[in-house]
């Protein structure tokens, strides 16, 4: 059996756990968290889901090298580097950044054997031209963030692992692949469940078209475009305090780019009475907790 098929066919450990914060009692809701972050330390959370069928496909096509793109703090780059190493592929990543950035995420990429190619912001925009520079017959190309139909397929499998009923499911939304997959999966396994995507970037209106293109006609999902706290990667003392308090109270680490924004959005919606009392809510911990470390030098 191929290494990728073997790696991604192993049973997934992403349990649904009760998640208790005082604010949830006050709002009279019960909240659970699906620990996608526990699937793998480096092929974390939704990145594992999104890479699953892509890497199996790459192996079937007898590709030898993965080529992809990401920002300097990209969870996707680290996940591709680690998954490539697990599955016997070489990997190359174009990194966006005007001067050569150095940080713990890129250091991990290199440690897993990824070749990093640094390009300035203008050059980075023309991904087609960059791809042409490095592609060979044995290269499998993954877009920035890794969203495509196979990624949506992988994320749809999350729903089938949830065997209690939830009124609402919440997840972070960056490129829309995870939200599309959740909508697709829950439409089959629990059509009454409403799936909420929290856009973590400003001007996320385009995400609606992306999700619709993958799951045309589905009405079980919605996007929240005003919970990004100033834009992608933007943080605040309030957000960091929430991460620290939640970590100390529950032992679960969120990150400021994705998962903490979801928690903060949920707390705001509860406070504003936008969610019915008595609701049962599932939060998806999509991983990426390593990103929190960028707050510390
Ligand atoms: C990449 C990422 C997301 C965004 O997923 P999309 O499918 O791109 O919307 C959410 N959470 C975490 C932790 C991520 O690393």
Alpha carbon distance 106, 77 (integer Å): 8
From the CB of 254, is ligand 1 less than 6 Å away? no
From the CB of 176, is ligand 1 less than 6 Å away? yes
From the CB of 46, is ligand 1 less than 6 Å away? yes
Dihedral angle over CA of 261, 263, 265, 267, nearest 10? -150
Alpha carbon distance 113, 108 (integer Å): 9
- The C-alpha R_g of the chain, in whole angstroms, comes to 19
Sheet (strand 16-18) strand order: 16-18, 30-35, 280-285, 168-173, 194-199, 221-224
Residue 297's pLDDT is 56
Name the token pair of 157.
């499998």
Which residue puts its alpha carbon closest to atom 10 of ligand 1? 172
User: How many A from CA of 97 to the centre of ligand 1?
Assistant: 20
SS3 172: strand
- DSSP annotation of 110 reads H
Element (H, E) at 181: helix 177-189
The angle, 0 to 180 degrees and rounded to 10, between the axes of the packed helices 149-160 and 46-60 is 130
Give every CB contact of residue 242 below 8 A, 6+ residues apart in sequence.
254, 260, 263, 264, 267
User: How many A from CA of 111 to the centre of ligand 1?
Assistant: 22
Residue 58's pLDDT is 98
Residue 244's pLDDT is 97
From the CB of 177, is ligand 1 less than 6 Å away? yes
What pTM was estimated for this model as a whole?
Answer: 0.97
From the CB of 145, is ligand 1 less than 6 Å away? yes
Name the token pair of 112.
């897993």
Q: Which residues of the chain have pLDDT under 50?
A: none
What would the pLDDT profile of 33-44 be if each residue is shown by its tens digit?
Answer: 999 999 999 999
From the CB of 154, is ligand 1 less than 6 Å away? no
Give every CB contact of residue 106 below 8 A, 6+ residues apart in sequence.
72, 77, 95, 116
What would the pLDDT profile of 205-251 be if each residue is shown by its tens digit?
Answer: 999 999 999 999 999 999 999 999 999 999 999 999 999 999 999 99
User: How many A from CA of 84 to the centre of ligand 1?
Assistant: 19
- Residues in a beta bridge with 140: 66
From the CB of 181, is ligand 1 less than 6 Å away? no
User: How many A from CA of 156 to the centre of ligand 1?
Assistant: 14
User: How many A from CA of 166 to the centre of ligand 1?
Assistant: 21
Spatial CA neighbour of 130 closest among 70, 41, 191, 190: 70
């Amino acid at each position: 059996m191929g290494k990728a098929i073997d790696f991604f066919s192993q049973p997934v450990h992403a349990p649904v756990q009760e998640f208790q914060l005082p604010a949830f009692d006050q709002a009279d809701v019960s909240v659970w968290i699906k620990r996608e972050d526990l699937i793998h330390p480096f092929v974390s959370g939704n990145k594992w889901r999104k890479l699953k069928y892509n890497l199996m496909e790459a192996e079937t096509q007898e590709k030898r090298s993965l080529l992809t793109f990401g920002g300097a703090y990209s969870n996707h780059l680290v996940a591709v580097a680690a998954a490539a190493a697990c599955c016997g592929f070489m990997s190359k990543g174009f990194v966006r950044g005007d001067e050569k950035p150095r940080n713990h995420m890129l250091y991990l990429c290199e440690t897993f054997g990824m070749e990093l190619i640094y390009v300035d912001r203008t050059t980075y925009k023309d991904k087609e031209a960059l791809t042409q520079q490095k592609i060979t017959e044995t290269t499998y190309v993954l877009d920035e963030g890794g969203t495509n139909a196979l990624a949506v397929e992988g994320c749809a499998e999350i729903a089938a692992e949830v065997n209690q009923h939830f009124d609402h499911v919440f997840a972070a939304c960056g490129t829309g692949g995870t939200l599309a997959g959740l909508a697709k999966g829950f439409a089959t396994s629990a059509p009454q469940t409403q799936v909420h995507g929290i856009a973590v970037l400003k001007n996320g209106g385009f995400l609606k078209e992306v999700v619709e293109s993958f799951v045309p006609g589905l009405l079980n999902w919605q996007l929240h475009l005003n919970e990004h706290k100033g834009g992608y990667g933007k943080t605040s003392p309030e957000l960091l305090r929430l991460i620290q308090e939640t970590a100390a109270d529950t032992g679960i680490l969120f990150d400021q780019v994705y998962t903490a924004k979801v928690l903060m959005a949920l707390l705001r919606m509860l406070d504003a009475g936008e969610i019915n009392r008595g609701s049962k809510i599932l939060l998806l911990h999509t991983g990426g907790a390593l990103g929190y470390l960028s707050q510390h030098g």
